[in-house]
Structure 1
Amino acid sequence: MPVPVPQQRAEAAAEASHGADLTLLVIEDDPAGTFTVPELPAAAGTKVRIRTARNLTEAGRLLTDDVDCILLDLALPTGSETRASGAGDAAGPDGLATLQHVLRIAPGHAVLALTAQDDTALAAEAVRVGAQDYLFRDELDGRLLSRAIRYAVERKRADAAQLRLTESTLRAQENARLERGLLPTPLLEGSDLRFAARYRPGRSRALLGGDFYDTVRTPDGTVHAMIGDVCGHGPDEAALGVELRIAWRTLTLAGLCGDELLSTLQQVLEHERESEEIFATLCTVDIAPDGRRAGLCLAGHPAPLIARQGRAAHLLPYEDGGPALGLLPRARWPRRQVELGGTWSLMMYTDGLIEGRVGPVGTQRLGQDGMVAMINRQLAEGLAGEDLLEAAVAQVRELNGGELTDDVAVLLLDRDQNAVRRRPPDGERGRSVLRPRAANPAKAQRPPL
């Protein structure tokens, strides 16, 4: 239960409001005329101006924005204002009904409750209801009232700041839950491919950026994967990236592929973007059910990297790519057939991974060649799956000399033709029979940030 403020805290509050004049609105109705506001000393050059209201109606007229604190006499008779609002029906004593009415009409003002010395229960209840502090009428003097005003004002400011902080924290938590929910869950049941991904938005304290990716397996056994990048990395770009990802998944499950799919995605982009300057790059891969061949489409996006068993990693062909989505109204995106082999790893990425700076003074970019060399070194060290992606992103940040400013998304699909597989019973057809590389299966399904 709150208690009257100690002198040390009151003096600290007074120092916090140093140099700012305060206005006190006194609401009291003493028919005997025995109550008077004591003369207030000027503390540290601060003056307290006083206004007096005889009832709540008059107080409403005097309650302007420059009022800092209200001194309310709990003995004030309950008038028609509080009865009309219904506060007196459930508020208990009339003094509390009057206090609740004042708190409603002045939610941003500090309030001091004034009561008799023998009514400590009512005084404590007033603080519980919402007053910043209480004072006893018989012990009131100028010094005590001056300290109480300053303490009440500072406490109200602190309460308001704490409320804003709490609301901001709740909004941040809600946004985080929303952004996590918008990250994709790969649909790979029944496939012998293994999946891993890393995602790091460039925006500070964000979970979602303008980069996007997804992976699904269609009923014919084909595994479709894509990765894309909306120009920019703000919240609007993040929202557009989510729209494009969901549209891609829907179109893919509906049977579209290659140029037809990308042309439809461009229509979605043109209708959803805020300006004609917004574009998006995209890379799509459709892997045949046997896992040995794939179709590749590039829309202004860097070519994937492939590592085959016994061979160094290298980039897939990229000469036949088309423009980024949103640049040319009637563009075409040819689909190129590539041979994957039996055992392979395919890495798709956004340009945030290759545009970080390197060198002693950070004047050069890592580039695709630098990335390929880095990945080959890490493969030689025996890294694979999520460990490979984690090491790649960490080294790019290290070479950059700090956090990357652009969004980064990396997706890895790999296949081992020598992996032991069993033929599932008819009732279990469609389930994945390979154990994911991640120690935690849930970790392999939804990549951590």
Structure 2
Amino acid sequence: MSTVSRSRPLAVSGAGQDVLELLLIEDDPGDAFLVEEFLEESELDVRMTVAQSLADARRLLISEASGPQCVLADLSLPDGSGLDMLREVLTMAPRAAVLVLTGLNDAHVGVSAVAAGAQDYLVKQDVDAPLLARAIRYALERKRADESERQLVEARILSQENARLERGLLPVPLIEDENLRHHARYQPGRERALLGGDFYDTVQTEDGAIHVVIGDVSGHGADEASLGVRLRMAWRTLVLAGLTGEKLLDTLDTVLALERWSDEIFTTLCMVTIDPSRRTALMYRAGHPRPLLFTESGVDALPDDRCGPALGLIPGVGWPMTTIELGESWGLMLYTDGLIEGYAGEGSERLDTEGLVTLTRQILGRGMTGGEMIDTLVAEVEALNQGVLTDDLAILMLGRGSAT
């Protein structure tokens, strides 16, 4: 194996790159010398390494962390040949542009090689310096285009799968009361993730009561997302079975203890039952942020004086109940702490509940309500945070009358 280093300006990969790393897999010293001479005559700034066998190439590609940007491969080697050899090269150098070298009688092999994944092929007897330089440029650009297309296809498939999973995992509210308005937003904090550990649900029972819940599993990741879905489904099942209040929370606490993988995992939760009259509600909070109450006179956070610990922390503990006077026209907005734990502008100050109330009042003052208000609220919270929120975020809003 030999290495050739040169220092002319690079004319193929654009500004910011210094040297093109090229691996030549060629067992004929004469052909390797010709390739070296052609590169010397070209405008390319190349550091070329020659592997005289497939085994040499394998050792090189395994030992180098970054690998070459381009591979020139003769498909007729003593220890490897044809498309089987090409497939191994493509596997060993997945980020490299691959050019195949063939003889006059093997041009059909070159065509098959391109169909199998190579960027181009060259007939040895026809190669000169300009053709080689042009072919390398073309191969690099085609590799970039192929990679971009692959990423687009992956993103499209991921988007389709996410939409399919979302339909199955995010809840459809069970509400028969046409006088109620329901809005929900969900935004996982992990990049390209579908679900986080936050969850919410809304169910109307046979007696006409409306039950809403929002929760947040501690931690971030697929396991937390899975646990959140299981807790939501357990909550819905228990509500439909007739459980309410502390009995329901006690059972959910037991479910969490059985389903979690560590004693350190806990879940904050806020649960509200709206009376069939729609004028009062009962609320239980387990370590969860205070909901916002919208009335004809404005918006404010509910009192912070009655809140129990998060689920999974203290076995057998009770959770106090709060009665909420709703009136004729009202709105309730439940949310997870991802909405209030971002920064409130420059510095280290967090938005917190008070900042959320102030921001919501400003948005309401512009005449926005419902889904438009929620979308604007999230956008402005992110603007204050100077970037997308890193924590999972869920918002559930239920309203009646003109207050929201």
Gaps spanning 5+ residues in structure 2: where?
1-9, 62-70
Question: Of 366, 378, 381, which aligns to 1:393?
Answer: 378
Is 2:250 aligned against 1:263?
yes
> 1:150 Cα deviation (Å)?
5.5
Give the 3 Å change call, closer, same or farther, for CA 415–137 of structure 1 in structure 2. Answer: closer
Structure 2 equivalent of residue 194 of structure 1: 181
Structure 1, 129-138 or 187-196: larger mean CA deviation: 129-138
In the alignment, the residues of structure 2 paired with residue 298 and residue 177 of structure 1 have an alpha-carbon distance, to the nearest angstrom, of 31
Is 2:334 aligned against 1:351?
no
- State the Cα deviation string for residues 182-238 of structure 1 (Å, max 9, x = none): 322212134532111233444444453332211111233221101122234444433
Is 2:93 aligned against 1:99?
no
What SS does the aligned partner of 1:186 have? Answer: coil
- State the Cα deviation string for residues 240-275 of structure 1 (Å, max 9, x = none): 322322222222222221112212222232233343
**Within 5 A, what are the aligned runs for 1:370-449?**
370-379=355-364, 381-416=366-401
In the alignment, the residues of structure 1 paired with residue 32 and residue 361 of structure 2 have an alpha-carbon distance, to the nearest angstrom, of 83
Relative to the length of structure 1, the TM-score reads 0.67
What SS does the aligned partner of 1:127 have? Answer: helix
Is 2:58 aligned against 1:64?
yes
Structure 2 equivalent of residue 214 of structure 1: 201
Question: Of 304, 309, 313, which aligns to 2:291?
Answer: 304
> 1:328 Cα deviation (Å)?
0.7
Structure 2 equivalent of residue 85 of structure 1: none
Higher fraction of strand: 2
What SS does the aligned partner of 1:65 have? Answer: helix
- State the Cα deviation string for residues 81-122 of structure 1 (Å, max 9, x = none): 99xxxxxxxxxxxxxxx73333344433635242327x8666
Structure 2 equivalent of residue 440 of structure 1: none
> 1:65 Cα deviation (Å)?
3.5
In the alignment, the residues of structure 2 paired with residue 155 and residue 369 of structure 1 have an alpha-carbon distance, to the nearest angstrom, of 53
Superposed CA RMSD:
4.2
What SS does the aligned partner of 1:66 have? Answer: helix
Give the 3 Å change call, closer, same or farther, for CA 125–49 of structure 1 in structure 2. Answer: closer
What SS does the aligned partner of 1:103 have? Answer: helix
In the alignment, the residues of structure 1 paired with residue 175 and residue 207 of structure 2 have an alpha-carbon distance, to the nearest angstrom, of 12
Asked whether the 8 Å contact 2:101–2:124 carries over to 1, the reply is no
Structure 2 equivalent of residue 430 of structure 1: none
Structure 2 equivalent of residue 24 of structure 1: 25
Give the letter for the 1:304 counterpart.
P
In the alignment, the residues of structure 1 paired with residue 300 and residue 318 of structure 2 have an alpha-carbon distance, to the nearest angstrom, of 26
> 1:411 Cα deviation (Å)?
1.8
- State the Cα deviation string for residues 27-72 of structure 1 (Å, max 9, x = none): 9xxxxxxx963633354574453526xxxxxx6x666332754313
Structure 1 equivalent of residue 100 of structure 2: 112
Give the letter for the 1:18 counterpart.
V
**Within 5 A, what are the aligned runs for 1:297-376?**
297-309=284-296, 311-358=297-344, 361-376=346-361
In the alignment, the residues of structure 1 paired with residue 155 and residue 365 of structure 2 have an alpha-carbon distance, to the nearest angstrom, of 44
Asked whether the 8 Å contact 2:26–2:32 carries over to 1, the reply is no
Give the 3 Å change call, closer, same or farther, for CA 151–343 of structure 1 in structure 2. Answer: closer
> 1:282 Cα deviation (Å)?
0.6
What SS does the aligned partner of 2:19 have? Answer: coil
Asked whether the 8 Å contact 2:294–2:332 carries over to 1, the reply is yes
In the alignment, the residues of structure 1 paired with residue 299 and residue 264 of structure 2 have an alpha-carbon distance, to the nearest angstrom, of 35
Asked whether the 8 Å contact 2:120–2:135 carries over to 1, the reply is no
What SS does the aligned partner of 1:70 have? Answer: strand
In the alignment, the residues of structure 2 paired with residue 292 and residue 196 of structure 1 have an alpha-carbon distance, to the nearest angstrom, of 19
Give the letter for the 2:73 counterpart.
I
Number of matched residues? Answer: 372
What SS does the aligned partner of 1:269 have? Answer: helix
In the alignment, the residues of structure 1 paired with residue 391 and residue 159 of structure 2 have an alpha-carbon distance, to the nearest angstrom, of 23
Structure 1, 361-370 or 330-339: larger mean CA deviation: 361-370
Asked whether the 8 Å contact 2:110–2:121 carries over to 1, the reply is yes
Give the letter for the 2:12 counterpart.
A
Higher relative contact order (Cα pairs below 8 Å, separated by 6+ residues): 1
In the alignment, the residues of structure 2 paired with residue 45 and residue 352 of structure 1 have an alpha-carbon distance, to the nearest angstrom, of 50
Structure 1, 323-332 or 286-295: larger mean CA deviation: 286-295
Give the letter for the 1:185 counterpart.
V
In the alignment, the residues of structure 1 paired with residue 376 and residue 127 of structure 2 have an alpha-carbon distance, to the nearest angstrom, of 69
Identity fraction in percent: 40
In the alignment, the residues of structure 1 paired with residue 57 and residue 347 of structure 2 have an alpha-carbon distance, to the nearest angstrom, of 60
Asked whether the 8 Å contact 1:38–1:140 carries over to 2, the reply is no
Give the 3 Å change call, closer, same or farther, for CA 26–296 of structure 1 in structure 2. Answer: same
In the alignment, the residues of structure 1 paired with residue 58 and residue 380 of structure 2 have an alpha-carbon distance, to the nearest angstrom, of 59
- State the Cα deviation string for residues 371-391 of structure 1 (Å, max 9, x = none): 344444544554332233234
Give the letter for the 1:350 counterpart.
T
What SS does the aligned partner of 1:332 have? Answer: coil
Could you say which structure has the larger radius of gyration? 1
> 1:125 Cα deviation (Å)?
4.8
> 1:180 Cα deviation (Å)?
2.9
Is 2:268 aligned against 1:285?
no
In the alignment, the residues of structure 2 paired with residue 334 and residue 392 of structure 1 have an alpha-carbon distance, to the nearest angstrom, of 30
Asked whether the 8 Å contact 2:86–2:113 carries over to 1, the reply is no
Asked whether the 8 Å contact 1:113–1:133 carries over to 2, the reply is no
Asked whether the 8 Å contact 1:352–1:406 carries over to 2, the reply is yes
Give the letter for the 2:75 counterpart.
L
Give the letter for the 1:70 counterpart.
A
Is 2:151 aligned against 1:165?
yes
Gaps spanning 5+ residues in structure 1: where?
1-9, 28-34, 53-58, 83-97, 420-436, 438-449
Asked whether the 8 Å contact 2:102–2:109 carries over to 1, the reply is no
In the alignment, the residues of structure 1 paired with residue 234 and residue 342 of structure 2 have an alpha-carbon distance, to the nearest angstrom, of 30
